[in-house]
A and B are shown apart, each in its own frame.
Chain A
Amino acid sequence: MPQPTPLLTLSGVTKVYQMGDIEVQALRGVDLSIDEGEFVAIMGASGSGKSTLMNLLGCLDQPTAGTYVLDGIDVADLVDDDLAVIRNRRIGFVFQSFNLIPRSTALHNVEMPLIYAGDTDLREERAMAALELVGLAERADHQPSELSGGQQQRVAIARALITEPAILLADEPTGNLDSESSIEIMTLLRRLNEEGRTVVLITHESDIAAFASRVVRLRDGHIISDERQVPRPIAGEAAEGGPQEKNPIEEPAQTAEVVS
């Protein structure tokens, strides 16, 4: 397998929060590199630093020390507005609580990143195409309140994809969904990954992490394990998965002990 160029590299990243008089060390020196086309799950219990890591990866925040190079750009030195441009062009966010703009149609939500990018070419057509990709073209005129949780999350994924970002960052994307919708969303993310998109998934659920091909575990601000795995087969691929594969459901269950 040829060595792909790393899409993002974190080296020696620390993050310290000041909460009143107390300094909280959320990250204590994280080194991580993710290649193009990977499907990485970052796992950890609450307080492990995974949300902080997600914020740093998503350029919502900057490290206290260390470097973060995304797509060839050293992010640590950038000012707020430059970070906004990076978020707009290179990162697609999918949040646990969907975070769609209320009282705006699905179509308008999806085209919003293009508005901030100042990209006016065929804006509506592209937004429609993105909605089609997630199978919601016929709901384009609906407002978020008229959509189910799974549908809202699919609109959010369409919004994340519209600017063709380098990386899709999903922060507990199934946290607010029932298990059926969860599988639907994870299947969608897997399909997008198979089409070549880089997906980074933050989760504390091992059966969700099982969809990824690489699992990074965090505890107390350190990476405690980083291993590749055979992803859990999704519905359409179950036959190809075959019995020779290790049972993917079992494997995370073992590591869950390590985490807790």
Chain B
Amino acid sequence: MSVFEAIRLAWQGLLANRLRSSLTMLGILIGVGAVILLVAVGNGASVQVQNQVSALGSNIVYIYPASTRGAGGVSQGFGSGSTLTAADVAALNNPQAAPHIVTAIPVTQAAGNMTYQNQNWFAPMTGSTELFPQVRDYTMAEGAFFTADQVTANSKVVVIGKTVVDNLFQGQDPLGQQIKINRQSFTVIGVFASKGSAALGNQDNIAVVPITTAWTYLTGGRGKNITQIIIQATDANSVTAATQEATSILAGTHQVDPANPDFTTQSQQDILAAAGSITGTLTVLLGAIAAISLVVGGIGIMNIMLVTVTERTREIGIRKAIGARRRDILLQFLIESMVLSGLGGLLGIAAGWLISTQVSAIKLGTTSLPPPIVSLPSVFLAFGVSVGIGLFFGIYPANRAAALHPIEALRYE
């Protein structure tokens, strides 16, 4: 008997019990649909996080002072040392020694309590140079960023992000207004265009002042402290080369072993990899939960196939009497369960896909779920797995049918 004949027979068998076949299929449909949907949600979250990490600025490498080690080698924590200097920044901005580095900028950070009239707001204060928007990929919504002259002149000017504007100005135009930061008056000269909120912190809650100003008024007498140097590499592919160049230059200026430096480099790609492993775990977890319902659907198939075999014992006897061999009967019932699960799988893929297009409309409080992304491999995998489930859970019932003795099967009432 050809496989085509077997499929025809299986199809007739399924049509004979339409309600039962559809309910059994529903089990697989829900399982496959859940896998498709939840994996898509996981993928969507992963892509969203990656976009947000990329939004931190393209092609950049952060250099932090290494954790200082006290006597006895006790680490005092990440960034607790203070080893980065303006001279390091100057050394990195050397196209001969570091051809893959476009520019390196110093950054100092401080806590900033801002007030405007009777409103106050807390945002991390960043002190940097006029190149900060270029390196961190910020664009201006209003006004302008401060200039090199303003950096040299210790100007008390500030550029703020959208979150700060919303909380401090309540709809008023912030440009040209005086705000107080740690009791010092600053003039708002620009507002950044929104970058959106990110899983890695709100990038619109930002206030940037010239680094010299920060040293003078905000960092509280810690001198010309540089908490990080941000390096912009020529492109995404030269991030590794730029990191190596920076490491060897700074090891030279600090006179330390490049294999055990007193600073730490972290590229955007490192962050992406870390974020990717978190969201990857999330996706696997969601998929695994959904897979449980797939197994339950498979057991439903096995159950129904056992009922079918018992019900059709006499038919099996007739088929054997007129010449069906073991494998003919086996094939008929195996294909029947595979058609059942494969069809359920196809419908489940369609259902999962359809629902995933609607998920981003669901609101959880104020935030919405990231738009799910159905990946093609997960579709093929889900279909393959559903057919495989039909095969796996169909083998036992089909084998039972094939092993029936023709005389006993014919006598069965």
Known A80-B326, A99-B410, A103-B16: A118·B321 in contact at CB below 8 Å: no
Complex: how many Å from CA A116 to CA B320?
10
Complex: how many Å from CA A163 to CA B406?
19
Interface residue range, chain B? 20 to 34
Check B195 for interface membership: any CB of A closer than 8 A.
no
User: B137 to chain A: closest CB distance in Å?
Assistant: 68
Q: Look across to chain A and name the residue whose beta carbon is closest to the beta carbon of B410.
A: A99
Assess the B322–A87 pair: CB atoms within 8 A: yes
What residues of chain B lie closer than 8 Å to A61, measured between beta carbons?
407
Complex: how many Å from CA A239 to CA B319?
42
User: A66 to chain B: closest CB distance in Å?
Assistant: 18
Known A103-B16, A116-B319: A81·B407 in contact at CB below 8 Å: no
What residues of chain A lie closer than 8 Å to B327, measured between beta carbons?
81
Assess the A84–B2 pair: CB atoms within 8 A: no
Which of A84, A85, A159 has the largest count of B CB atoms less than 10 A from its CB? A84
What residues of chain A lie closer than 8 Å to B323, measured between beta carbons?
84-85, 87-89, 113, 116-117, 163
User: A33 to chain B: closest CB distance in Å?
Assistant: 24
Check B152 for interface membership: any CB of A closer than 8 A.
no
Check A236 for interface membership: any CB of B closer than 8 A.
no
Check A253 for interface membership: any CB of B closer than 8 A.
no
What residues of chain A lie closer than 8 Å to B314, measured between beta carbons?
99
Assess the B2–A118 pair: CB atoms within 8 A: yes
What residues of chain B lie closer than 8 Å to A117, measured between beta carbons?
323
User: A221 to chain B: closest CB distance in Å?
Assistant: 17
Closest 9 pairs (CB-CB, A-B): A88-B323, A116-B323, A84-B325, A81-B325, A99-B318, A113-B322, A87-B323, A60-B406, A116-B324
For the complex with contacts A89-B323, A95-B321, 12 further pairs of A-B residues with Cβ separation under 8 Å are A58-B321, A60-B321, A84-B323, A84-B326, A85-B323, A87-B320, A87-B322, A88-B323, A99-B314, A102-B315, A103-B16, A113-B323
- A–B Cβ pairs within 8 angstroms, 17 of them: A60-B321, A60-B407, A60-B410, A84-B320, A84-B324, A84-B325, A87-B322, A88-B324, A99-B314, A101-B318, A101-B319, A102-B315, A116-B322, A116-B323, A116-B328, A117-B323, A163-B323
Chain A residues close to B by CB (< 8 Å):
55, 58, 60-61, 80-81, 84-85, 87-89, 93, 95, 99-104, 112-113, 115-118, 120, 159, 163
